Amino acid sequence: MARTIKLALIPGDGIGPEVVTEAVKVLDAVTAGSDIEFAKTHFSLGATRYLETGDVLTDDDLAAISAHDVILLGAVGGVPGDPRLANANIERGLLLKLRFSLDHYVNLRPTTIYPGVPSPLASHGDVDFVVVREGTEGPYVGNGGAIRGGTPHEIANEVSVNTAFGVERVVRFAFAAASARRKKLTLVHKTNVLTFAGGLWKRLVDEVGATFPEVDVDYLHVDAATIFLVTDPARFDVIVTDNLFGDILTDLAGAISGGIGLAASGNINPDGTYPSMFEPVHGSAPDIAGQQKADPTAAILSVAMLLDHLQLTDAATRVRDAVVADIATRTDSSRTTSQIGDAIASALAAPA
């Protein structure tokens, strides 16, 4: 049966539009001739839009985006330090606002060290894990404030919010993911010091874990987790953790896997109440923008995650296989952004 999927495209700033062009090229190639059609709407959001109109993300933007099935984002943000953007607050006003408003309670970041990709780790074994980072709570909710600002008596609070509801649902997602993978889940927290939040996370991992007896459960303090991510990353399958720890660990995970140009992510609302959003982990890279130097692979792998989310598993696998094959044979480092996209798209178009 023919299926039309409403796709919101937010190319954004800098290299965002360049990598999204290639991601869409690959999406079109993998669905060509099938009964699946992506109806695409472009949204102009980010630093460029802010400089033109003064808007970051209006209620109308949000309502229009919400009416889609799924979102693909490139990257947003201008040149760091640009004084015209001093008050724009793109991170909070756009990215975090989208994640909170669309209830993206799972931030999913897979890490694989692909054959042919040099990792900064001399020996690492078979690395293939996924971080399930809570996306709507923790210290990122803006629950705080400052008084006596700028004085020696300034008091600044930034309170971490952890609800049983919020923790349970992300832990459940992580167990289901582990059950479908290598059946190992590692909770990362700091339960010895953050005893209130840590106690809640630990209790819910134990409770939900009882309903997934096939999954082995492990626990690491976040500081120890940074050691093992460097010394023995192959030990991980699914890591579940809070918003702040997840933010930090996934940057480390991106670094060990050999490059910001390869790391993909999903901001997921597993309930389907709102559209989920897929994006490369990298930013808008103003230093190389407009030069066709950006690696579009992270954006293309984000498309694979998007297809997986839509349960178009076969298409997702084909995209991932085409990317892995391309990565394995990368010898020409002078390929442009669009040449890489073309190579992957034409591998998909070739008859199997």
Q: Which of 82, 218, 223, 321 is catalytic?
A: 223
Q: Of 49, 133, 169, 282, which lies in the binding site for ligand NAI, with binding defined by CB under 6 A?
A: 282
Q: Which is nearer to Mg ion, 25 or 104 (CB)?
A: 104
Whether residue 219 lies in the annotated active site: no
Q: Which residues bind Mg ion (CB under 5 A)?
A: 247
Of 141, 151, 112, the C-alpha closest to 129 is: 112
In one-letter notation, the amino acid at residue 338 is S
Site membership for ligand NAI, residue 254 (CB under 6 A): no
132 touches, from Mg ion, ligand NAI, none (C-beta below 5 to 8 Å by class)? none
The binding site for NAD(+) comprises: 283-295
Of 221, 281, 283, 229, the C-alpha closest to 256 is: 229
Q: Which is nearer to ligand NAI, 71 or 197 (CB)?
A: 71
Whether residue 60 lies in the annotated active site: no
Site membership for ligand NAI, residue 68 (CB under 6 A): no
Say which residues have a Cβ less than 8 Å from residue 262's Cβ, sequence separation at least 6: 114, 117, 295, 297, 298, 301, 327
Q: Of 95, 121, 215, 305, which lies in the binding site for ligand NAI, with binding defined by CB under 6 A?
A: 95
285 touches, from Mg ion, ligand NAI, none (C-beta below 5 to 8 Å by class)? ligand NAI
Say which residues have a Cβ less than 8 Å from residue 276's Cβ, sequence separation at least 6: 70, 71, 102, 104, 266, 267, 268, 269, 306, 309
Whether residue 247 lies in the annotated active site: yes
187 touches, from Mg ion, ligand NAI, none (C-beta below 5 to 8 Å by class)? none
Site membership for ligand NAI, residue 288 (CB under 6 A): yes
Whether residue 237 lies in the annotated active site: no
Q: Which of 190, 242, 308, 326 is catalytic?
A: 190
Give me the residues that bind ligand NAI (CB under 6 A), please: 15, 19, 75-78, 80, 95, 260-261, 279, 282-288, 294-295, 298
